[in-house]
Chain A
Amino acid sequence: MWVELCTTSMVPDDDVVEVVREGHVYCAYRIANRHYVTDGLCTHADARLADGFVLDDIIECPMHNGRFHIPTGKVDAAPACEPLRTYVVRVDGGRLMIELPG
Chain B
Amino acid sequence: MSTTVRNAWWEPRIERAVLKALMKRSDGPGLYFLGVWAMLLIVTGAALQFSRGSGWIVPAIIAYGLVLCFAYAPSHECAHGTAFRTRWLNDAVMWMTSFIWGESPTHRRFAHSHHHTHTWHWKVDAQMGYSNPVRLRTWFGDVIGLHEFWPRAKLMARHATGRIVERERTYLPQAQEAVVVREARILMAGYLGLIAWAAIGQTWLPLLYFFIPRFAGAFGVYSFITAQHMAMAQDVYDHRLCTRSMVIGWLGRMLYWNMHHHIEHHIYPSIPFHALPALSAAIREQLPVPSPSLFAAHAEILKTINAQRTDPTALAARAQPGASAPGATAN
Contact = CB atoms under 8 A, between A and B. Distances in A.
A81 B175 contact: yes
B109 A78 contact: yes
Contacts of B270: 52-53, 60-63, 65
Interface string B90-125: 000000000000000010011001001100000000
Contacts of B60: none
Interface of A: 15, 20, 23, 25, 41, 44-48, 51-53, 55, 60-67, 77-79, 81
B137 to A, nearest CB: 33
Interface residues of B, number: 27
B173 A81 contact: yes
B176 A48 contact: no
Contact of B2 (A44, A46, A61): A46
B240 interface: no
A63 B81 contact: no
A79 B82 contact: no
B1 interface: yes
Interface of B: 1-2, 4-7, 19-20, 23-25, 80-82, 87, 106, 109-110, 113, 116-117, 173, 175-176, 268-270
Contacts of A61: 270
A57 to B, nearest CB: 14
| Main SS class of interface, A | loop
A48 B7 contact: yes
B119 to A, nearest CB: 11
Contacts of A81: 173, 175-176
Nearest to A81: B173
B279 to A, nearest CB: 13
Contacts of B116: 63-64
A78 B80 contact: no
B174 to A, nearest CB: 9
Given A55-B25, A65-B80, A48 B110 contact: no
Nearest to A82: B173
Nearest to A53: B23
Contact of B81 (A44, A45, A48, A65): A65
A58 B87 CA distance: 13
Nearest to B179: A78
A64 B113 contact: yes
A79 B4 contact: no
A81 B175 CA distance: 8
Nearest to A76: B87
Contact of A46 (B5, B81, B173): B5
A47 B173 contact: no
A96 B150 CA distance: 56
